[in-house]
């Protein structure tokens, strides 16, 4: 977002004008930012056969899936519904990695029937898979490396108490199942969590994966997940993608020589690709001063952006209606009948009722984690392409809330 001639613009479009045209609350996405992040990642890994699988749980609107399909990305899906969305968006089945967790075997079978790449993270499911398919259907295996990543404990997935993945200490058991059922394992997968700052975390996981890979002779790829840290505030510390790319590429090429042939190196980023390309626009309903705090109450809440309450996440907030206003301290809160604070004690240019605030870094896990709590409606989404905004999801109405309810006589 840039301030040009006293107007805040995003992707070349005037944000206040978008709020007036489409109403608030409103999710705004910039295609150029998505593409730029994708190119930055692909440029960081030189000399390896890199495959990107966009983690669509971050932002699953069909228009966004098509953007990534167009620039060459595959898809990472964690539910059969995401698989179906990917297929509808035009992805070939073999471009989709299906990594469910805690699902029934019936959902696994649906993935097999769809022809996507199946990623298994449970020994009992692996045994069931082998019994059902033997060597007829290849699969990937997700390992838990027991490495603690950074960030909130809700987004750490590679530690010893995590529900995700098969422990690296259970590999002997895995090998016996594979041998018994003649299972064809073509990929290994690891994901330690989100907001990883130190490339050393990836490299430690890589060494564990390389050691494990020697037990699997038919591998085509190794998937290192994602978890790259992006900036949520000014001067925020982030993952050095270029440093990671140089170090991991070098080590991966060395491993491929040891393994005996070149494999594909996969990543499945979500937040890294879309977080900074999204903004949530909200309108100020009330300015309320108490004995201790000045609240700016907006026409949105944790039902639209739950990350601040769920993860204690920081999202930078800007008053785009009053760029030259005198700075004052506000606590920005939502309209939900719960504590739903977007930001405590934020320095904003003077806030007036009717002003539009921009909540930054809302592209990842914003709309996809939204809900209808308090019977509130979910917002519209627009995509900026060539400085012009296109509506990619209309605003909900009351009929949408009632659509799946069955009217009975009481």
Instruction: Determine phi and psi for 250, rounding to 5 degrees.
Output: -60, -45
List the structure tokens of 92: 């070939």
16 alpha-carbon distance from chain centroid:
27
Task: Please name the residue that has the structure tokens 């930055």.
Answer: 40
DSSP3 helix / strand / coil % (the chain, rounded to 5): 35, 25, 40
Residues 362 and 278 sit within 8 Å (Cβ to Cβ): yes
Closest CA to 372 of 324, 323, 301, 320: 301
How far, CA to CA in Å, does 69 sit from each of 54, 145, 270, 406? 9, 30, 14, 38
Is 140 one of the annotated active-site residues of the chain? no
List the structure tokens of 253: 């090429």
DSSP classification of residue 291: S
Residues present in the chain in total: 410
First to last CA, the chain: 53
Question: Looking at 56, 139, 256, 337, which residue is catalytic?
Answer: 337
Q: Please give the positions annotated as active site.
A: 337
């Amino acid at each position: 977002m840039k301030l040009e001639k006293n107007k805040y613009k995003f992707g070349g479009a005037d944000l206040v004008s978008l709020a007036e045209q489409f109403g608030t609350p409103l999710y705004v996405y910039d295609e150029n930012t998505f593409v730029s992040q994708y190119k930055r990642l692909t440029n960081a890994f030189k000399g390896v056969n890199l495959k990107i699988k966009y983690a669509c749980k971050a932002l699953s609107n069909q228009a966004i899936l098509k953007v990534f399909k167009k620039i060459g990305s595959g898809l990472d899906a964690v539910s059969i519904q995401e698989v179906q969305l990917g297929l509808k968006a035009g992805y070939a089945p073999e471009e989709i990695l299906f990594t469910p967790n805690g699902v029934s075997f019936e959902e696994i079978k649906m993935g097999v029937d769809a022809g996507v790449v199946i990623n298994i993270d449970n020994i009992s499911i692996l045994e069931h898979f082998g019994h059902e398919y033997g060597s007829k259907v290849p699969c990937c295996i997700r390992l838990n490396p027991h490495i603690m990543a950074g960030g909130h404990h809700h987004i750490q997935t590679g530690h010893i108490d995590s529900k995700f993945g098969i422990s690296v200490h259970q590999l002997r058991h895995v090998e016996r199942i594979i041998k018994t059922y003649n299972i064809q394992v073509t990929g290994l997968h690891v994901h330690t969590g989100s907001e990883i700052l130190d490339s050393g975390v990836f490299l430690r996981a890589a060494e564990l994966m390389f050691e494990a890979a020697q037990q699997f002779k038919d591998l085509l790829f190794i998937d290192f997940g994602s978890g790259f840290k992006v900036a949520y505030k000014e001067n925020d510390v982030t993952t050095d993608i270029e440093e990671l790319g140089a170090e991991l590429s070098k080590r991966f090429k060395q491993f491929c020589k040891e393994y005996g042939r070149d494999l594909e190196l996969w990543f499945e980023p979500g937040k890294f690709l879309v977080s900074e390309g999204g903004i949530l626009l909200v309108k100020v309903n009330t300015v309320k001063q108490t004995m201790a705090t000045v609240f700016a109450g907006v026409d949105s809440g944790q039902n639209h952006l739950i990350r601040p309450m769920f993860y204690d996440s920081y999202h930078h907030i800007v008053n785009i209606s009053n760029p030259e206003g005198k700075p004052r301290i506000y606590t920005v809160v939502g309209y939900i009948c719960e504590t739903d604070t977007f930001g405590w004690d934020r320095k904003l240019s003077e806030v007036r009722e009717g002003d539009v605030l921009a909540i930054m870094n809302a592209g990842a896990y914003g709309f996809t984690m939204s809900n209808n709590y308090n019977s509130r409606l979910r917002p519209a989404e627009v995509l900026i392409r060539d400085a012009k905004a296109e509506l990619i999801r209309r605003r909900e109405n009351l009929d949408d809330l009632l659509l799946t309810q069955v009217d009975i006589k009481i």
